[in-house]
Amino acid sequence: AQSVAQPEDQVNVAEGNPLTVKCTYSVSGNPYLFWYVQYPNRGLQFLLKYITGDNLVKGSYGFEAEFNKSQTSFHLKKPSALVSDSALYFCAVRPDTGRRALTFGSGTRLQVQP
Amino acid sequence: NAGVTQTPKFQVLKTGQSMTLQCAQDMNHEYMSWYRQDPGMGLRLIHYSVGAGITDQGEVPNGYNVSRSTTEDFPLRLLSAAPSQTSVYFCASRQVAGDTQYFGPGTRLTVL
């Protein structure tokens, strides 16, 4: 069975500082990894994905994530946080075989203080 | 191109009532799925479909039915609503062999 762990319920960071939101995963075979963001009373918006290739992937709004196969991690990062980045962030995984469903972590609330 | 649409946006039911949550996509995606979102639990998969006429259960299927008569539509039926089904429901779609999954705006359901 596949699973995702987001160990932090909430991350607090000051505006302008770098941020990291942690994610570790478990899956059979090669992983497809995703980050989604959810703003209040909205659906999930796709941020970025790792499918294959370069371990550092860049996504929307200046976010990036690093795939680490040995540590089974896919941490989300941004060099300089904005107050507008405050939202709920979800990590998700599925194997690279097409029919499998996406499994989500429990989410991490990012709070960026001015 | 509207993407994934869901109706209604909000619904209040009494225990025992039935209803159908609608989901449609216009991207010709074979794969569609329903999730529920509860605080502190992320999104949990209810049912999914890999094409018209094919459905399967997810992690939390009890109390819900689905059908897939067309590629575009994937309705979720609550047979006899219970307070434990109070949640926010999201529909999503993607190509079967594709990577990125697209989500609808959600339906907030309250069962009294």
pLDDT-derived band at A20, boundaries 50, 70, 90? very high
Q: What is the mean pLDDT of residues B15-20?
A: 97
What residues of chain A lie within 8 A of the CB of B90, using their CB? 43-44
Average pLDDT, chain A: 93
Among partner residues A49, A51, A105, which is closest to B42 by beta-carbon distance?
A: A105
Q: How confident is the model at residue A1 (pLDDT cuts 50, 70, 90)?
A: confident
Q: What is the pLDDT of residue A84?
A: 94
Question: Percent of chain B scored above 90 by pLDDT?
Answer: 87
- Mean residue pLDDT across chain B: 93
> Cα–Cα distance between B44 and B26 in angstroms, integer?
24
Window from A25-29, B63-67, B85-89 with minimum mean pLDDT: A25-29
Confidence band for B96, pLDDT divided at 50, 70 and 90: confident
Cα–Cα distances (Å) from B53 to A24, A72, A91, B91, in that order, read 35, 36, 30, 17
The whole-number pLDDT of residue A18 equals: 97
Eight-class DSSP state of B63 = T
How far, in Å, CA of B15 to CA of B82, rounded? 5
User: How many contacts does A have with B, using Cβ atoms within 8 A?
Assistant: 52
pLDDT at B17: 97
Task: Indicate which of B30, B55, B96, B99 best probes the interface with A, i.e. most A CBs within 10 Å of its own CB.
Answer: B99
Q: How far apart (Å, rounded) are the C-alpha atoms in residues B22 and B16?
A: 19
Question: Residue B39: its pLDDT value, please?
Answer: 83
Nearest by CB to B42, from A34, A51, A90: name it.
Answer: A90
Q: Percentage of chain A with pLDDT > 90? A: 79
B41 — pLDDT class (breaks 50, 70, 90) = confident
Q: Which residue of B has its CA nearest to A107?
A: B42
- pLDDT at residue A99 is higher than 80: no
Substitution target from B29, B34, B43 for chain A, most A beta carbons within 10 A: B43
Checking if the pLDDT of A98 tops 60, the result is no
Closest CA of chain B from A79, distance in Å? 25
Instruction: Please answer whether residues A44 and A22 qualify as being in contact, where contact means their C-beta atoms are separated by less than 8 angstroms.
Output: no
pLDDT per residue as tens digits for the range A47-82: 999 988 889 999 999 999 999 999 999 999 999 999
* pLDDT category of residue A87 using cuts at 50, 70 and 90: very high
- Tell me the shortest Cα–Cα distance from B90 to chain A, in angstroms: 7
Give the CA distances from residue A101 to residues A64, A76, B106, in Å, rounded to whole numbers and listed in that order.
Answer: 24, 22, 18
For residues A5-34, give the mean pLDDT.
95
Which residue, among A33, A67, A102, would best test binding to B if mutated, counting the most B CBs under 10 Å from its CB?
A102
